[in-house]
Amino acid sequence: MKVIILCAGYATRLYPLTENRPKPLLSIAGCPIIEYILNALKPIETVDEIITVTNHKFAGHFETWAKTVHYPWPVAVIDDRTTSNENRLGAIGDLNYVIHQKGFQNEDLMVIAGDNLFDFDLLRFYRAAEARRPHASIAVFDVKELQLARQYGLVKLGKDQKVAEFEEKPAQPTTTLASCGLYWLPRETSVLLDRYLKDGHNADQPGHYMRWLAQKDALYGVSLQGRWYDIGDLNSYQKADALFRDRHSI
């Protein structure tokens, strides 16, 4: 299985921290955010390659970082050649770019947002998702509070954990179950991604593609327990850093 970590955003809400440094390489309790993700992947024996896709502005940062880390699998960096928010490919555009650059059309993929900070059991997520093959799966997390839920893409699940409905940052949430930037796309869904993009659908936020998958094929949710931090601004970054320093590590 290949893992694609999406790191091509510009994180302008975190300026000046991210003006000259990519968000996934920001340090939380002395460790870059992306390394928490990589450490969580270690128990999954089927992982054989990690691809970090980033933009041209930050490609050099990731290439320098990748030379310093040592994991059970190679960690590659792909530059999507974009230079600003205005010409970015978007998350789904970047996913498609990597698939075609690397020839991953017949590979199982785990796709993770590179600014995700969590202590989820990724092996549990993978096993639950694999059991739903040939359909895709997403990780969901209960943020508990309706007011907080307004900030996220929300998911309603049926009794069989099949995704029944998506709500993208609704003003009046009817659920607190949030999609948390973690997806499993078996090789059987590759043709569906091609169809989605060829039909001219939104290539930016992954939630648009997940909603389409739920309607056109089937999509399952895996509810995860633990901690999940959405680092969207300076205040949330400082809060997460303080919490992790207090608890030493995830």
**In the predicted model, what is the mean pLDDT of residues 206-218?**
89
Q: Letter for the amino acid at 185?
A: L
Query: What is the per-residue pLDDT for 229?
Result: 85
In terms of residues, how long is the chain?
A: 250
What pLDDT is stored for residue 25 in this prediction? Answer: 96
Q: What is the mean pLDDT of residues 11-17?
A: 86
What is the rounded CA–CA span in Å between residue 157 and residue 155? 6
Domain with residues 1-117+229-250, CATH architecture: Alpha-Beta Complex (3.90)
| Tens digit of each residue's pLDDT (9 = 90 or more) over 94-152 | 999 999 999 999 999 999 999 989 889 999 999 999 999 999 999 999 999 988 888 88
The more confident residue out of 247 and 62 is 62
pLDDT of 86 reads 78
pLDDT at 250: 47
Give the pLDDT confidence of 43-59 residue by residue, as tens digits.
999 999 999 999 999 99
Q: Which helix (H) or strand (E) holds 157?
A: strand 153-157
CA nearest to 97, candidates 46, 38, 51: 51
Peptide linkage before 43 cis (omega within 30 of 0): no
What 22-25 contacts at long range (C-beta under 8 Å, 24+ apart), as own/partner pairs, is 22/54, 22/58, 22/61, 22/62, 22/114, 23/114, 23/115, 23/231, 24/52, 24/114, 24/115, 25/58, 25/61, 25/62, 25/65
| 119, 226 Cβ separation under 8 angstroms | yes
Q: What would the mean pLDDT of 211-229 be, rounded to a whole number? A: 91
**In the CATH scheme, what is the code of domain 120-185+202-226?**
3.90.550.10
Least Cα distance to 10 among 23, 28, 1, 27 occurs for 23
Tell me the pLDDT of the chain averaged across its residues.
91
Task: Kindly write down the DSSP assignment for every residue of 89-148, as one continuous string.
Answer: --HHHHHHHHHHHHT-TTS-EEEEETT-EE---HHHHHHHHHTTTTSEEEEEEE---HHH
Choose from 172-176, 191-195, 220-224 the range with maximum mean pLDDT. Answer: 220-224
- pLDDT, average across residues 187-191: 92
pLDDT in tens, 140-185: 999 999 888 888 889 999 988 999 988 888 888 889 999 989 999 9
Nearest-angstrom CA–CA distance, 94 and 102: 12
Q: Where in the chain is the domain with CATH 3.90.550.10?
A: 1-117+229-250, 120-185+202-226
HEC secondary structure over 7-68: ECCCCHHHCCCCCCCCHHHCEECCEEHHHHHHHHHCCCCCCCEEEEEECCCCHHHHHHHHCC
172 DSSP 8-state letter: S
